A and B are shown apart, each in its own frame.
Chain A
Amino acid sequence: MDLFSTFFNMPVLLNSLPQLLSGLLVTVQIGITSIICGLIGGLFLAITRLYAPTIVQVLVRGYIDIFRSIPLLVLLIVVYYALPFVGIRLSPFFSAVTALTLVSAAYTAEIFRAGIEAIPHGQFEASAALGLSNRHTMVDVILPQAIRIVIPPLTNNCINVMKDTALASVVAMPDLLKQATQAQALSANPTPLIGAALIYLILLWPMVYVVARLEKRYSRGR
C-alpha cells in the first residue's frame, strides 16, 4: 500500500466527508458561542478589574490569574466528569462552551484592560470635564478607541479558541476531530484525519492572515 492511498485515499475521504462537515458545523458552533460569551465576559471582567471596589477587583484578578493558569483540557474534564458529583450535569456541548468561555474570558479581560489602559488620561479628563457619566465615557469615548487597539490580539485569541474546540472531542462531543477519528476507525484508514486537519487549516489560515494584516496596519498607527 503506497503513501498516497494510505493518507490521501479519495474514496475514503469522499465517504467520510458528510461526517466531517457535520463535525465542522459543531466545531464552529462551539467556537462561535465560546468566542461571543468570552468577549462579553472578558469586557465585563476588564471593567470590573479596573473600576469596581477594591475587594471585587481582587476577586476578579484572582479569577483571571486562575483561569489563565489552568490547562484547558484539565478544566474541561473537571467540568464534564467532576461537576456531576455535585449535581451539576452539563451536556458535552455546554461543558465545552463553559470551559472555553471561562478561559477565553480571562484572556480577553487582560486584552481589554491593556487596551483601556493605553488610552491617554486626557481622554478621561476631557470626558469628566464635559460632565459625561462613567457609562458614556466608556461607551462613547474610551471603548471605541480601545477596541481599535485590541482588535489584533482579540482576533488572535479567537483563533486560539477555535483551535481549542478540538479538545471537546474528549468529552464525546461530535466535533470535527471526533468525527474524523470515528471515520478513521470505521474505514481503517487515516485519510479522514488528514481531511480534518485540512479543514482546520482552511478555517483558520485566513484568520491568521487577517491578524497579520491587522497587526501591520495598527502598528503603523491609524
Chain B
Amino acid sequence: MSAQINIHNLKKSYGEFQVLHGIDLEIVQGEVVCVIGPSGSGKSTLIRCINRLEAFDDESEIAVDGIAVVPGRALAAVRAEVGMVFQSFNLFPHMTVLRNVMLAPMRVRHSTTKDAEARARVLLDRVGISEQADKYPENLSGGQQQRVAIARALAMEPKVLLFDEPTSALDPEMVGEVLDVMKKLAGTGVTMVIVTHEMGFARQVADRVIFMDGGNVIEAGPPAEIFDNPREERTRSFLHAVLDH
C-alpha cells in the first residue's frame, strides 16, 4: 500500500539557520505517528510543513494523497483534507463553539447551515462538549477549548489530523480529557501525526514513534522499541532526561 503522506528530502531554513536537514518520511493511511524530541528539534516545523503553514525549500517534496503540497489551488485541496490542532487552540473568539465547528464545512465544502449544524452537534457530543455549544470560547476551560478545536478539525472530515503539541498549553488536570479524545480517534481510520511531550500517551497510542533532534530524524520505530530499547545514544539520553525524574 502506498503512503498517504510522502515527505522527501524536506529542508527548511530560517535565514542562515537550518531547521530541517532533509527529512524523508512515509506515513500510511490510518497510522498514528508520534513525533518526540527536545524543543528546537524541528518537530513542530516538520508537521507544519505537511499543510504548508511553513514554506519549505523548492527541492523538497511533500505529497498528501498523491497531491503535491505546493502553493496555489492544490494547496487548498490539501488543507481541506488535513486538519490541524494547535498548541494555543486558535478558536475563533467572536463565534460560538457551534459556529466555530460549522464555519469551514459551510465555506469550504458548501454544506447547508442545517447539515453543518447537525454534524457540528454530533462532533461536539463526541468530544463531550455538547452542553457548551452556544458559549463563546473564552468561557470554556483550556481542555474544553482544545476539544472544540479537535471537533472543528474533524468537521472537515479530514483524512489526516496534525496535532502540534495539543496539551502543552493546558493545566495538568486538563491534559487527560484531551488525550482521551485523541485516543478515541486513533484507530478510526484517520491518519494522525502528533507532536507531543506526553510519553505515556505516545507509548500507548502510537503505531510508530519518531525521535527528532537537531532537524533530523534520529530514530523511528514501534513505541516498545523506541522507549524500551533505543538504538541511538541521543534517543537514550533524551528519554532518560524526560522519563527519569
Q: Do residues A130 and B138 form an inter-chain contact, with CB atoms below 8 A? A: no
Q: Do residues A132 and B92 form an inter-chain contact, with CB atoms below 8 A? A: no
Write out the residue numbers on chain B whose beta carbons fall within 8 Å of the beta carbon of A133: 76, 107-108
B66 within 8 A of A: no
Please pick, from B79, B80, B84, B93, the residue contacting A145 in the complex, using a CB distance under 8 A.
Answer: B93
Report whether over half of chain B's contact residues are helix, strand or loop; otherwise say mixed. mixed
Give the docked Cα–Cα distance between A125 and B90 (Å).
8
Closest to A221 in B: B138
Closest to A126 in B: B90
Most chain A CB within 10 A, of B83, B88, B90, is at: B90
Q: Do residues A131 and B92 form an inter-chain contact, with CB atoms below 8 A? A: no
Q: What 0/1 pattern do residues 107 to 134 of A give for CB contact below 8 A with B?
A: 0000000000000101101101111110
Please pick, from B51, B103, B107, the residue contacting A129 in the complex, using a CB distance under 8 A.
Answer: B51
Give the docked Cα–Cα distance between A222 and B153 (Å).
26
Closest to A129 in B: B84
Most chain B CB within 10 A, of A122, A125, A131, A222, is at: A131
User: Shortest beta-carbon distance, B166 to chain A, in Å?
Assistant: 13
A62 within 8 A of B: no
Q: Do residues A125 and B86 form an inter-chain contact, with CB atoms below 8 A? A: yes
Write out the residue numbers on chain B whose beta carbons fall within 8 Å of the beta carbon of A222: 93, 138
Q: Do residues A145 and B94 form an inter-chain contact, with CB atoms below 8 A? A: yes
Q: What 0/1 pattern do residues 206 to 222 of A give for CB contact below 8 A with B?
A: 00000000000000001
Query: Interface with B: A70-78, A97-105, A136-144, A187-195, which one?
Result: A136-144
Q: Do residues A122 and B86 form an inter-chain contact, with CB atoms below 8 A? A: yes
Q: Do residues B88 and A140 form an inter-chain contact, with CB atoms below 8 A? A: no
Q: Do residues B94 and A131 form an inter-chain contact, with CB atoms below 8 A? A: no
Q: Do residues B88 and A130 form an inter-chain contact, with CB atoms below 8 A? A: no
Write out the residue numbers on chain A whose beta carbons fall within 8 Å of the beta carbon of B93: 145, 222
Q: Do residues A130 and B53 form an inter-chain contact, with CB atoms below 8 A? A: no
Q: Do residues A148 and B94 form an inter-chain contact, with CB atoms below 8 A? A: yes
Q: What 0/1 pattern do residues 197 to 210 of B give for CB contact below 8 A with A?
A: 00000000000000
Please pick, from B76, B90, B138, B162, the residue contacting A131 in the complex, using a CB distance under 8 A.
Answer: B76
Give the docked Cα–Cα distance between A153 and B108 (Å).
34
Residues of A within 8 A of B (CB): 120, 122-123, 125-126, 128-133, 136, 140-141, 144-145, 148, 222
15 intermolecular pairs with C-beta atoms under 8 Å apart: A122-B88, A122-B90, A123-B92, A126-B92, A128-B79, A129-B83, A130-B103, A130-B104, A130-B152, A131-B104, A131-B108, A132-B104, A133-B76, A144-B94, A145-B92
